[in-house]
Structure 1
Amino acid sequence: MKQMTAKEVETLLNEGKNLNIVDVREVAEVAEGKIPGAVNIPLGLLEFRMHELDKSKEYTLVCRSGGRSGQASQFLEGQGFNVINMSGGMLAWEGKLEK
C-alpha cells in the first residue's frame, strides 16, 4: 500500500497539484472540517459508491488517524484502483480546512 504523510499532501496542494482526495470519515466528522476539495465517501458506503471513482485517476484517501483510510486503500486496490493512504490522517493535518 502506497503512503504519503499529511505534510507531503499539504505541500503538493500548496504547489498547485490537483489531488483527488477522498475522505472516508463519517459525515459528522467531516462537518468539523476537511481538506479543501476532498470528497466525502464514508468507509461504510465505499463499496456502494466506488462507481463514482475513476480507475484512470489516482486517489489519496484520508480519515481521522490513517486506519480507516488504510482499510479503504486495501479495498480499492483490490478493485483495481490506484490509491495512496495519507498516514496520520486528519490528526496530522496542519493545512487549511474547509467546512
Structure 2
Amino acid sequence: MDFMTILLIIAYAVTTWYLVTRFMPVKGLRNLTAEQFRQRVNQKSGVVLIDVREPHEYKRGYIPTAVNIPLSQLGKRVKEISSKNEVLLYCRSGMRSKQAAKILSKHGFTNMAHLKGGIMTWQGAIKKK
C-alpha cells in the first residue's frame, strides 16, 4: 500500500468514529416531543429540569423551573444533580442536550429525557431574566 491509501483509510476511520460517537443513541436517554416534554415538566415531582445552554442564552428565555448548568460546566457540576430524579435536558436545538446526557450517563445517570429539537420546538411558557 502506498502512503495515500493508508492516509485515506485513517481519514475514513476517524470520520466514521466521529459520526458514530456523535449520533449514537445514549443509553437511558429518551427523546421527547415538545408535548411529551411539557407534560413531564408539568408533573414537577420527581423531575429536575436542566437547561444546558450558556448563561447568555438562558437569560434570553428559559422554561420556568429550569436550572442553568451549561454543557461546558456540566462535568464539574454533576454533583448538583440528584440521580434519584428523572433528569430532563434541553438546549437550543437538541444537540448539546444529547452531549449532556452522554456526560451524565458516564456518571451513572440512567433516567434521562431530552427535548427533541430543543427550545426552538417548545410551545409552553418562557421566562426571561
Tell me whether the two structures share a fold, i.e. TM-score over 0.5: yes
Deviation digits for residues 1-48 of structure 1, max 9, x if unmatched? 3111122122344xx401311000000101111000000000000000
1:3 pairs with 2:31: yes
Higher helix fraction (1 or 2):
2
Which of the residues 85, 88, 91 maps onto 1:60?
88
CA RMSD of aligned residues (A): 1.2
Unaligned ranges ≥5, structure 2? 1-28
Which of the residues 73, 77, 80 maps onto 2:108?
80
The runs of 4+ residues in structure 1 deviating greater than 2 Å are none
Unaligned ranges ≥5, structure 1? none
Shifted more, 35-44 versus 75-84: the winner is: 75-84
Of structures 1 and 2, the one with the larger relative CO (CA 8 A, separation 6+) is: 1
Q: Provide TM-score, normalisation by structure 2.
A: 0.71
Higher strand fraction (1 or 2):
1
Matched residues, number: 97
The structure number with the bigger radius of gyration is 2
Shifted more, 20-29 versus 70-79: the winner is: 70-79
SS at match of 1:31: helix
Cα distance in 2 for partners of 1:49, 1:76 equals 10
Which of the residues 28, 34, 43 maps onto 1:17?
43
Report percent identity of matched pairs. Answer: 39
Aligned residue identity for 2:118: G
